Structure 1
Amino acid sequence: MYKESKNVTIFVDADACPVAIRRLLQSISAKNRQISVCFVASYKHQFNDLHENVYHVIVDAHREAADLYIANHVRKRNIVITQDIGLASIALAKNAYVISHTGKMYSNDTIDEKLFFRHLGSKLRRAGQKTKGPKKYSLHDFRQFKITLNKILSKEGLS
Structure 2
Amino acid sequence: MPHPIAIYVDADACPVKDEVYRVAGRYGLHVFMVANAFINVPREPWIERIVVSDGFDAADDWIAERAGPGAVVVTADVPLASRCVKAGATVLSPTGKGFTDASIGMAVATRDLMQSLREAGAVTGGPKPFSPRDRSAFLGALDRAVVRLRRLPGA
Same fold (TM > 0.5): yes
Does the aligned pair in 1 maintain the 2:9–2:33 contact within 8 Å? yes
Higher mean Cα deviation, 117-126 or 100-109? Answer: 117-126
Does the aligned pair in 2 maintain the 1:26–1:50 contact within 8 Å? no
- Post-superposition CA distance 1:103-138 (Å, at most 9, x none): 001111111111111111111111122222122211
Per-residue deviation at 1:71?
0.7
Higher mean Cα deviation, 136-145 or 53-62? Answer: 53-62
Q: Aligned partner of 1:12: which letter?
A: V
Q: Aligned partner of 1:15: which letter?
A: D
Does the aligned pair in 2 maintain the 1:85–1:115 contact within 8 Å? yes
Aligned counterpart, 2:33: 39
Higher mean Cα deviation, 135-144 or 21-30? Answer: 21-30
Aligned counterpart, 2:61: 68
1:93 and 2:79 are equivalent in the alignment: no
TM-score by length of 2: 0.88
Distance 1:107 1:76 in 2: 13
Structure 1 ranges of 4+ moved more than 4 A:
none
Distance 1:36 1:138 in 2: 27
Aligned counterpart, 1:25: 20
Identity across the alignment (%): 29
Q: Aligned partner of 2:87: which letter?
A: K
Does the aligned pair in 1 maintain the 2:23–2:143 contact within 8 Å? no
> RCO higher in 1 or 2 (8 Å CA, sep ≥ 6)?
2
Query: Structure 1 regions of 5+ residues with no counterpart?
Result: none
Counterparts of residues 1-159 of structure 1 (less than 5 Å) = 6-18=3-15, 21-33=16-28, 35-43=29-37, 45-157=38-150
- CA-based RMSD of the aligned residues comes to 1.7
Distance 2:76 2:133 in 1: 17
Per-residue deviation at 1:63?
4.3
Distance 1:97 1:137 in 2: 22
- Post-superposition CA distance 1:88-107 (Å, at most 9, x none): 11111111100100000111
Q: How many pairs align?
A: 150
Does the aligned pair in 2 maintain the 1:14–1:39 contact within 8 Å? yes
The SS at the match of 1:56 is: strand
